[in-house]
A and B are shown apart, each in its own frame.
Chain A
Amino acid sequence: MKLITAIVKPYRLDEVKNALQELGVHGLTVSEASGYGRQRGHTEVYRGAEYQVDLVPKVRIEVVVEDADADAVIDAVVKAAHTGKIGDGKVWALPVDTVVRVRTGERGPDAL
């Protein structure tokens, strides 16, 4: 199994969710995140004083999928989150040893 983590622009969240649903991914976790990449934040102006705000708001989407589905899921997320502008985000995958469904105690792929 793989844990796929995607850091994307908040307004692309619905697109990513829809794309994952179409692939048959049953569940996901979304959390607010902030950070920066090459674009290094943005500038705000208050009474003529400029402030460089380096951390920009993002959402982090996490899903655990079977190894065979990982590439398709990554492709779907990248396609849905893509705008072509700077700050579109990152997607990465990590191996997962164990997954347990709390309600039933099922383990492994059955718990997804």
Chain B
Amino acid sequence: MPLAAASADTGDTAWLLAATALVLLMTPGLALFYGGMVRTKSVLNMLMMSFVSIALVTVVWLAAGYSLAFGEDAAGGLIGGLDHVGMSGLGPDSVQGTVPTILFATFQLTFAIVTAALVSGAVADRAKFGAWLVFVPVWALLVYVPVAHWVWGPGGWILERLGALDFAGGLPVEIVSGASGLALCLVLGPRMGFKKEAMRPHNLPMVMLGAGLLWFGWFGFNAGSALGANGLAAAAFLNTLAAGCTGLLGWLFVEQKRDGHPTTLGAASGAVAGLVAITPSCGSVSLLGALVVGLAAGVVCSYAVSWKFKLNYDDSLDVVGVHLVGGVIGTLLIGVFAVESMTGGAEGLLYGGGLGQLGRQLVAVVVVAAYAFGVTYGIGKLIDVTMGLRASEEQEQTGLDLTVHAETAYDHGVLGHGAPVSSSVVPHAQKVTPQA
């Protein structure tokens, strides 16, 4: 954590304002990415899980999340204190490094939002919407916030005591979302018809649009994590672009060899896998390292997404295969490709640093994955036995869009200008007609 400066630097502040908006855009981007991958009957529910995550996590973060994650350490590097509950003590003049503290807090908030939204990919098509509204705030406080403190908080045990590296969130974002997604889909059980029915993506152009927006936002995520408009931000930016590209190419190469077709979903998934893996490492590795990190993620994740069929867990949209596996690859490879010119000290195996850094990365990966999995499993079980986590059979069969939200995403009827032939205005609607 940089030392406090007397006042904020305008260039750094301008960049971080832009980066914060970019990262927030990732969540609507993710909504489209995920929304296109589900069936027509639950696309709105999928979009809603991301959008309500923005609202829920923001409220929780402002109330207590920021203080617990980034307040002064209160318990041996495990959790922050309550000094800034309700953002108290933070005004426009408070400075964190070279940027206003409230901007730093907002930037970090956008990370917490997208991490929660990422988890929803594991529960697509079958989670109760009400249960999701309860899960997100509880999970944000008990899972995301502590891990964020371990990694980036003042005195956090992973970066400051263990000495593992994580530039933009391989541990709190990618590994936490992947491990949490795995836990939650185990509590939920597979979708009706899993491995029997074809659950094809209903709109691949929407998936591609979402992946494009994610990629765009990812520059704010990674280059913004330099917390300044500087050379490190530029290097992280280029590493992010490079790894996304080799991830895309790696996934397509595997598909062509294995299935005989390079698919659009594969291109989108490969780019995301590369971006996931470069997230922790973008501020630590050489450009060669970034190219290899992306390629490794594209190749390995394209195989990892089929684990769910072999191991019989229904991680609907492959949060485990892409985010957990990609996050582990990127976090571990820091121990191989870290260069002193980027880290200012630590070096990876390939650059003469020995096995030390790799070992530290491994410890961080194992502890964070185990913690996120264990606590999320507990929260999921608790919600399941109290209010119920899973939608009813009828809701799941009919689709959550209609049964939960009373809406449908598409009206493709060709009779009567796109309306179903039997549609008519029910008398009930007159009750809400505005008075003249």
Contact = CB atoms under 8 A, between A and B. Distances in A.
Contacts, number: 33
Contacts of B305: 47-48
A53 B303 CA distance: 23
Contacts of A48: 255, 258-259, 302-303, 305-306
Contacts of A52: 198
A53 B198 contact: yes
A45 interface: yes
B111 to A, nearest CB: 26
Most buried by A among B198, B302, B318: B198
Interface residues of A, number: 10
B269 interface: yes
Given A51-B198, A53-B198, A46 B265 contact: yes
A97 to B, nearest CB: 27
Q: What size tier do the contact residues of chain B reach?
A: 10 to 19
Nearest to B303: A48
A49 B318 contact: no
B119 to A, nearest CB: 19
Contacts of A47: 263, 265-266, 269, 302, 305-306, 318, 321
B309 interface: yes
Given A51-B198, A51-B200, A46 B263 contact: yes
Interface string B191-223: 000000010110000000000000000000000
B405 interface: no
B161 interface: no
A44 interface: yes
Contacts of B309: 49
A56 to B, nearest CB: 14
A46 B201 contact: yes
A96 to B, nearest CB: 25
A50 interface: yes
A103 to B, nearest CB: 20
Interface string A5-44: 0000000000000000000000000000000000000001
A49 B265 contact: no
Interface in B296-316: 302-303, 305-306, 309
B194 to A, nearest CB: 11
A44 B200 contact: yes
Most buried by B among A46, A47, A50: A47
Interface of A: 44-53
8 contacts: A44-B198, A45-B261, A46-B263, A46-B265, A47-B265, A47-B266, A49-B309, A53-B198
Given A45-B259, A47-B306, 16 more contacts: A44-B198, A44-B200, A46-B201, A46-B265, A47-B265, A47-B266, A47-B302, A47-B305, A47-B321, A48-B258, A48-B259, A48-B303, A49-B306, A49-B309, A51-B198, A52-B198
